[in-house]
């Protein structure tokens, strides 16, 4: 199916600031001294949250695109170790890779040869398709992007 309007809407869902802030907003001007900070009452750091977004999105990209897909273990394979830290280079690498993987998803959606409704080979009896997976990625990204912004507000690192 080549429905250009559906494909355009899916790309917008992944990339545009529509009914919510986008990922780029959430990480813009992030203060380096807080990348490993745990906000009050939060079991993870800001970098853990960004890395979680990256890992979860990468999992779905692999699920869609890889013939060699392996199911990760939840939650361990979706989060960095609780005591893991990074530096600004690691933070920037997580942000860049998140955006690169998201762009790969966009390219899949925009490829008119890709059937968005065809069952994915790795989905077995569930018969998941790309349309479903793009909706999951977009919802997950929106949820945690909002969380990132709220936590930045709690810590006083969000520009008003």
Span 1-56, pLDDT tens digits? 568 999 999 999 999 887 778 999 999 999 999 999 999 999 999 999 999 999 99
Is residue 77, in this structure, part of any structural domain at all?
Answer: yes
Give the domain extent around 48: 4-155
Is residue 102, in this structure, part of any structural domain at all?
Answer: yes
Is residue 46, in this structure, part of any structural domain at all?
Answer: yes
Domain count, the chain: 1
Q: Percentage of the chain surpassing pLDDT 70?
A: 98
Is residue 123, in this structure, part of any structural domain at all?
Answer: yes
Is residue 160, in this structure, part of any structural domain at all?
Answer: no
CATH of the domain at 146: 1.20.120.450
Least Cα distance to 47 among 5, 8, 11, 83 occurs for: 83
Residue 85 DSSP code: -
């Amino acid at each position: 199916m080549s429905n250009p309007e559906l494909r355009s809407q899916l790309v917008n869902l992944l990339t545009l600031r529509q009914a919510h802030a986008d990922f780029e907003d959430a990480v813009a001007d992030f203060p380096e001294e807080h990348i490993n900070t745990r906000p009050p009452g939060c079991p993870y750091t800001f970098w853990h949250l960004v890395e979680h977004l990256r890992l979860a999105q990468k999992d779905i990209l692999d699920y869609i695109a890889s013939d060699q897909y392996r199911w990760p273990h939840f939650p361990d394979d979706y989060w960095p170790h609780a005591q893991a830290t990074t530096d600004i280079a690691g933070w920037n690498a997580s942000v860049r890779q998140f955006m690169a993987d998201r762009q790969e998803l966009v390219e899949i959606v925009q490829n008119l040869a890709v059937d968005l409704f065809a069952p994915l080979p790795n989905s077995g009896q569930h018969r998941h398709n790309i349309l479903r997976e793009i909706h999951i990625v977009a919802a997950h990204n929106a949820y945690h992007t909002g969380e990132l912004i709220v936590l930045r507000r709690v810590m006083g690192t969000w520009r008003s």
